[in-house]
Chains A and B, each alone.
Chain A
């Protein structure tokens, strides 16, 4: 079955850029939307952005000015860059595949998540 695995630094300094990669295994990255979702410690889930396999991105307006999502179909990977980070960006970051039924989209499967801490 399809598996997702996040990778990237666990510690980022304030004002710097957070960079994460999600590697997809057990299936093709093509013909799907792929998302990044985050969860601050002890809090709820926030959708960050998604990208279709053809490279079309869509961003959460609240983060749009700081986020870039990209995809590399040759490597079966997609990536997240979040600039000018602050302590408020400390969270577990998940990657996930979007599945659909008509116009309804849901997230399944998910990666295991990676904790990114913003601290000097």
Chain B
């Protein structure tokens, strides 16, 4: 199966900061990479699909980039509601796999 590794596993930041989360695949996955946000007690919410396409209704401060094996999720200016856990997910292989998650905490 394709292993997805996110870094960092946790991150402390302040409101207004620019934050970048990285996701690395164990083999090339083209641009078949999606990003989710999960808040405690809630289901994950789709943010970005196909590496860089913003899901409808998601604020434009979220952006994604990358292809092949290395991908990033960037939040340009953190807002209080952005403190959550973020997951990447690949669909290059039908055996879909997720990264282990990045917990974004308030500094």
Contacts and interface: CB of A to CB of B under 8 A. Distances in A.
B44 A104 contact: no
Contacts of B32: 103-105
Interface of B: 1, 31-34, 36, 42-46, 49-50, 53, 55, 87, 89, 91, 94-101
B89 A107 contact: yes
A47 B97 contact: yes
Is the contact region of chain A dominated by helix, strand, or loop, or is it mixed?
A: strand
B98 A46 contact: yes
Given A47-B98, A101-B50, 15 more contacts: A35-B96, A44-B101, A45-B98, A47-B95, A101-B49, A101-B53, A103-B91, A104-B33, A105-B32, A107-B46, A108-B49, A108-B55, A110-B44, A110-B45, A111-B43
A60 B95 contact: yes
21 contacts: A44-B100, A46-B98, A47-B96, A47-B97, A94-B44, A96-B43, A99-B49, A101-B53, A102-B50, A103-B32, A103-B91, A104-B33, A104-B49, A106-B91, A107-B36, A107-B46, A108-B49, A110-B43, A110-B44, A110-B45, A111-B43
Contacts of B95: 47, 60-61
A106 B56 CA distance: 14
A105 B96 contact: yes
A16 B103 CA distance: 34
Interface of A: 35, 44-47, 58, 60-61, 94, 96, 99, 101-108, 110-113
B101 to A, nearest CB: 5
A108 B43 CA distance: 10
A106 to B, nearest CB: 4
Given A94-B43, A111-B43, A113-B43, A105 B91 contact: yes
A110 B98 CA distance: 15
A107 B31 contact: no
A45 B97 CA distance: 8
Nearest to B99: A44
A60 B87 CA distance: 19
A23 to B, nearest CB: 15
A59 to B, nearest CB: 9
